[in-house]
Structure 1
Amino acid sequence: MSLKASHAGVATTSDIRVRCFRRQDSDEVRDLFWLAMAIGPGSPRRIALDAALVKPAAKAAYTLILLGLSATFMAQSRATKHFGAILSLSVAVIFLGYRYLLSRSFTDLFKRWLTEDLADISSYYHMHPAGDGTEDFVASGPRGFWVVESDLPDKSGTEIVGIIALGEI
């Protein structure tokens, strides 16, 4: 199978292929998984964190922080200044704590997947060597794992750009 890839809307002559998993792919697969799911642009974690910034609760937090800061710096009474500072600080801590917990829920889930099915891919997906002297693993049942690779732009090799995994239903 060969498809033409395009980067940023510009067609390239790079081929994209689906091939059997090889044990030496393990680290690159795990790195790609972490990038795609946790830290890369468009990852579920980043999308959730970005979306949380514009939710009504976040807008209420921004308003309360600004009101607290206004009271802190513009109020005449010492008690109002203290109240404003405490309000701003409290809401900011709660807001940042929520973002931390949201981020942590994603990273904990992805770390669990990295230590379960992606820790030993060939065992988890019931793969066995394709034959003597080959590095390829093939599926031995309904489970399977393949990598999607693309030629590097300078044609010096290939890189893994995706995975196909069939696990338990």
Structure 2
Amino acid sequence: MSAVLDKIDHDHYDDDYIRGILRQVNVIAMVGASANWNRPSYFAMKYLQQKGYRVIPVNPKEAGNEILGEKAYASLSEIPVKIDMVDCFRASDAIPPIADEAIRIGAKVLWMQLGVRHDEAAKKAEAAGLKVVMNRCPKIEFGRLSREIGWMGVNTRVINSRKQNRI
């Protein structure tokens, strides 16, 4: 493992690390995406789409159906386009095979949602060249880093003339 990878503290991410990931990513595969409008994955998918990301749902129960205008797939390897980031809405014990598949398809980032952490899968993904984020939500991080939401998770109601773009 390189010295750069050894410096990643998976308990406290530097804002530049998160910002860099969110800037480099265009296509996100969301493993565990739900068609149910009141599930966290649905909110996150819709938000990220509104911010300009293409989010492709991965859910075997929904394979072939559409979620928020995107065809759902049963696995990462079935997706016919290049995936930049794999966003995991699955339990921690389900992460190792997802990480293996993310490596196989050539993803750049493995992102585990709030409450999801698997250190061994993270080490394996990093050794394969992927950036890894654990126990964070890209929706929340995007909102926080773009100043769209404050630390308390509420809209700051700040009005400015800056052109809104991706962070």
> TM-score if structure 1 supplies the norm length?
0.25
Task: Give the structure with the larger strand fraction.
Answer: 1
> Which of 1 and 2 has higher RCO (CA within 8 Å, sep 6+)?
1
Q: Which has the larger radius of gyration?
A: 1
